[in-house]
């Protein structure tokens, strides 16, 4: 399917160019977070200068949770980038598919505080419509007047990539002509940090937060909580060409699998991830030799990075294509990650440039992959993978081709 629009709201900036520039700078963006003050892990990545009221208006901002605010801004960007006008399109032929993992953390934090204080009547009547996972797709569909299929996917940290895959399937089936697809999340709330800390998943590098997220580095010790949204406009190529749209790339293949192994740990042999990659390539009618770049899941966890790297090494042999993980710069955006990284993959193909993996000072011994570090690398490529893996052993892989 043709990619005709991109929208990004990340800790690197509000907007596609701002996010791309910040990611390519190759520096970690984590810092102390006043929202997390007093917790064992009190730092995160967040979207700077995100003024939702200025971008969306004060009334809409008041009605929706932050994860929906992020998605709505990214969706508006993507639709504008695709040169589409919601006033003119055939609304029942426009689908919205958005992924989310954590959903309304801000809303539930406020509600539980009131409940603990015995002030039930202080709980907002908007608590449920602000926090239910499906409401992000519902709110975006209302905002953009898109009345076709409207879905939310939730496959943990693969949610955004799963959303793009489902949107591709809707287009392929003829259920819609345009799909607004992506992911969003904001888990940098006290309960999110505390819960991931208790799982042992977060970096505890409190003395140097900016260097805490370090995918594939020998000294990595966990991921960094983040927030953000990524949205992609997809169309059938003939539909895009008929309206004279600029095509930024093609979503050529989608593969999904389940590890069937453990609630939080990936299969040690990487079998589930490998099958998702192979399924994406088969769906595109492609071979591993046609993969010239991999935007890795690369969360900065000791186990996860090793398993993904070994899987890539097995799949590609000694000639692994250049690999990057944007999580070194912007942290782990959870349900948004697969969509944010898909958008960055499209930009990499478009600009023939692989962003660096921030904070990678020494590649972990035994990881036989070519990870781009320090600065962006110019690289000729026509095909690239974007990997996304989540709790529950849920894997989603996207294969993109250059336009």
Instruction: Give the residue numbers annotated as catalytic, written as ranges.
Output: 157, 297, 332
402 DSSP β-pair partners:
249
CA triplet 109, 75, 68: central angle to 5 degrees?
10
Q: How far is CA 306 from CA 26, 323, 369, in A?
A: 21, 13, 10
**Which secondary structure element, helix H or strand E, spans residue 232, and what is its range?**
strand 227-235
Q: Is 253 helix (H, G, I), strand (E, B) or coil?
A: strand
SS (H, E, C) 41-82: CCEECCCCCCCHHHHHCHHHHHHCCHHHHHHHHHHHHHHHHC
Q: How many CB atoms lie within 10 A of CB 165?
A: 28
* 391 in Cβ contact with 157 (< 8 Å): yes
Give the C-alpha separation, 7 to 230, whole Å. Answer: 6
Report helix angle 66-81 to 135-144, nearest 10: 40
**How many residues are present in the chain?**
403
Cβ atoms of 111 and 127 within 8 Å: the answer is: yes
Q: Which of 208, 201, 192 is nearest to 223 (CA)?
A: 201
Question: In 3D, which of 329, 300, 323 has the Cα closest to residue 27?
Answer: 329
Sole residue written with tokens 């160019």? 17
Q: Which are the contacts of 88, defined by CB distance < 8 A and separation ≥ 6? A: none
Nearest alpha carbon to residue 205 among 32, 10, 56: 32
Tell me if 222 sits within 8 A of 304, measured CB to CB.
no
122 CA to centre of own chain: 34
What is the separation of C-alpha 231 from the centre of its chain, rounded to a whole number of angstroms? 9
Q: Tell me the C-alpha distance between 78 and 229, whole Å.
A: 11
Do 293 and 354 meet the contact criterion of CB atoms below 8 Å apart? yes
């Amino acid at each position: 399917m043709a990619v005709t629009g991109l929208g990004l709201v990340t800790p690197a900036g509000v907007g596609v160019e701002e996010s791309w520039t910040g990611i390519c700078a190759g520096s970690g963006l984590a810092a102390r977070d006043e929202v997390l003050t007093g917790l064992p892990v009190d730092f995160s990545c967040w979207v700077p200068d995100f003024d939702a009221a200025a971008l969306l208006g004060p009334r809409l901002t008041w009605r929706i949770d932050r994860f929906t605010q992020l998605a709505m801004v990214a969706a508006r960007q993507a639709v504008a980038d695709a040169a589409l006008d919601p006033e003119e399109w055939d609304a029942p032929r426009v689908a919205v598919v958005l992924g989310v993992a954590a959903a309304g953390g801000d809303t539930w934090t406020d509600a539980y505080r009131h409940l603990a204080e015995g002030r039930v009547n202080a709980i907002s009547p908007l608590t449920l419509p602000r926090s239910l996972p499906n409401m992000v797709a519902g709110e975006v569909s209302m905002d953009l007047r898109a009345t076709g299929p409207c879905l939310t996917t939730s496959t943990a940290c693969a949610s955004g990539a799963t959303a793009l895959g489902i949107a591709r399937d809707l287009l392929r089936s003829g259920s819609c002509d345009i799909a607004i697809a992506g992911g969003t999340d904001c888990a940098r709330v006290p309960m999110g940090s505390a819960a991931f800390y208790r799982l042992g998943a977060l970096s505890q590098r409190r003395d140097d937060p900016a260097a805490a997220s370090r995918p594939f580095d020998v000294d990595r010790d966990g991921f960094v909580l983040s927030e953000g949204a990524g949205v992609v406009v997809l169309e059938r190529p003939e539909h895009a060409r008929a309206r004279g749209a600029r095509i930024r790339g093609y979503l050529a293949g989608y593969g999904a699998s389940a590890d069937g192994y453990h609630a939080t740990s990936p299969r040690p042999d990487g079998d589930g991830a490998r099958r998702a990659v192979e399924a994406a390539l088969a769906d595109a009618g492609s071979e591993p030799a046609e993969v010239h770049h991999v935007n890795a899941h690369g969360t900065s966890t000791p186990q996860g990075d090793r398993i993904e790297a070994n899987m890539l090494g097995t799949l590609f042999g000694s000639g692994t294509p250049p690999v990057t993980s944007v999580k070194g710069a912007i942290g782990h955006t959870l349900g948004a990650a697969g969509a944010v990284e898909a958008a960055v993959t499209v930009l990499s193909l478009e600009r023939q440039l692989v962003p660096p993996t921030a904070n990678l000072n020494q590649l972990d011994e035994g990881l036989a992959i070519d990870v781009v570090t320090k600065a962006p690398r110019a690289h000729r490529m026509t095909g690239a993978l974007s990997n996304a893996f989540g709790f529950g052993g849920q894997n989603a892989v996207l294969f993109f081709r250059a336009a």
